[in-house]
Chain A
Amino acid sequence: MDVEARKRSLRYFFAKIVEPLGYKFTPDEELADFLLEQESHLEEAHGSPFCPCQGRTQNHAENMQIVCPCIPFHRDHFDYMKRCWCGLFVHKDVTDADSLSQIPYADFTKARDDARGSGDDR
């Protein structure tokens, strides 16, 4: 299988999915290329282009939630970070992808609860 050809086709299909969600490919071309290559290898080994930065489990339903692009399954969290977990996709308005970092889910939920004013109730 030609990995370069698969990367191009993944780019084609992914762009169609993430565009309506308000995301685009990271402007960091080197990172995008690297991540797509890992995904094409994961697809070859496991049948689906799983997120290269998240671990799979024995639970099929859970695993399906980290098939790239997994934005719909982690929408609030990713919107908060303005990027997906591995950084392949960023919000459309992002020009400097390096300025964004991963924020652990627990930190995100705490920040969200604080913003809602429920943090003090606990």
Chain B
Amino acid sequence: MLVEVATIGEIAPGGMKYVRAGEREIVVCNCDGHYYAVDRRCGHMNGPLEMGALDGTIVTCPMHHVQFDVTTGQALNHPVPAHIDEPLPSRWAQSMKHFGMLMQHTNVCNIKTFVVSIDRGAIQVETG
């Protein structure tokens, strides 16, 4: 199904836009005039990618800095562990330790990409 998600000029170069198309959550990326569309959810822990950073064709998740190539959906790195200098209250420290253990067992998956087409100034995504 072809869904109109934005118009040309609506997304600045280097910018991203989150759109909901039916059941799908999609992020449309403007990579210097070339448009790409990927799953909104990070392949690590479902972070919202449009809240991260787009540099060239590489998007970085705001949660654990996992990066993806938006042209292929390929995951490019593993999550970056947080470093906290200050000692945490014991309950927080326990929680962080628990989350850290869970993260060690969380694989990073590639994200889905969608075919993008331009028609009379409209950016359309094939949602399948």
Q: Would you call A47 and B74 a contact (CB within 8 A)?
A: no
User: Does any Cβ of B come within 8 Å of A1's Cβ?
Assistant: yes
Expressed in whole angstroms, the Cα–Cα distance for A31 and B75 within the complex equals 25
Q: Would you call A1 and B83 a contact (CB within 8 A)?
A: no
Q: How far is the CB of A53 from chain B (nearest CB, A)?
A: 21
Expressed in whole angstroms, the Cα–Cα distance for A109 and B75 within the complex equals 43
Chain B: residues with Cβ within 8 Å of the partner, total of 16
Q: Would you call A47 and B58 a contact (CB within 8 A)?
A: no
User: Does any Cβ of A come within 8 Å of B30's Cβ?
Assistant: no
Given the contacts A12-B56, A60-B83, A60-B85, A5 and B78 also touching, CB distance less than 8 Å: no
* Chain B contacts to A: CB under 8 angstroms: 55-56, 58, 67, 69, 74-81, 83, 85, 108
Main secondary structure of the interface of A (DSSP, over half): helix
Across the interface, which residues of B come within 8 angstroms of A62, CB to CB? Answer: none
Pairs across A and B, CB under 8 Å, 22 listed: A1-B75, A1-B76, A2-B74, A2-B75, A2-B76, A5-B69, A5-B74, A5-B76, A9-B58, A9-B76, A12-B55, A12-B56, A12-B58, A13-B55, A13-B58, A40-B77, A43-B78, A44-B77, A44-B78, A47-B78, A60-B83, A60-B85
Q: Would you call B85 and A6 a contact (CB within 8 A)?
A: no
* Chain A contacts to B: CB under 8 angstroms: 1-2, 5-6, 9, 12-13, 40, 43-44, 47-48, 60
Q: Would you call B83 and A43 a contact (CB within 8 A)?
A: no
Expressed in whole angstroms, the Cα–Cα distance for A9 and B83 within the complex equals 23
Using CB atoms, name the residue of chain A closest to B65.
A47
Interface residue from A1, A9, A13 paired with B78 (Cβ < 8 Å): A1
Q: How far is the CB of B125 from chain A (nearest CB, A)?
A: 24
Across the interface, which residues of A come within 8 angstroms of B55, CB to CB? Answer: 12-13
Across the interface, which residues of A come within 8 angstroms of B75, CB to CB? Answer: 1-2
Expressed in whole angstroms, the Cα–Cα distance for A44 and B78 within the complex equals 6
Expressed in whole angstroms, the Cα–Cα distance for A40 and B85 within the complex equals 25
Using CB atoms, name the residue of chain B closest to A61.
B85
Across the interface, which residues of B come within 8 angstroms of A1, CB to CB? Answer: 75-78, 108
